[in-house]
Amino acid sequence: MTSNNATLLLPDVMSKVAGLGPSALAAVHQFLLKLELAQLTEDIQDEAEVLRLSGELEPELIDAAIREHRRNQPYAS
């Protein structure tokens, strides 16, 4: 199947996954976790770039936010 249409791909992928043995299923699970991590990392980097360009990631602002967070948290010394 060469279509990129998720509606067509999903049943084929699910059928193949359902037929996997335990070790292959574990490998697919690890692959999916790595894929999810890569996607989340890309999203975070994109958002950080937007914030950086808007001036919201200036070192002074970050330091102030950290200080405020620490003041508001009941951490033990």
Which residues have a Cβ under 8 Å from the Cβ of 8 and sit 6 or more positions away? 1
Give the pLDDT confidence of 28-52 residue by residue, as tens digits. Answer: 999 999 999 999 999 999 999 999 9
Tokens standing for residue 33: 């976790």
How far apart are alpha carbons 32 and 49 in whole angstroms?
26
How far apart are alpha carbons 15 and 71 in whole angstroms?
53
How far apart are alpha carbons 64 and 49 in whole angstroms?
20
Which residues have a Cβ under 8 Å from the Cβ of 17 and sit 6 or more positions away? 25, 28
Q: What is the pTM of this model?
A: 0.64
Query: What pLDDT is attached to residue 37?
Result: 98
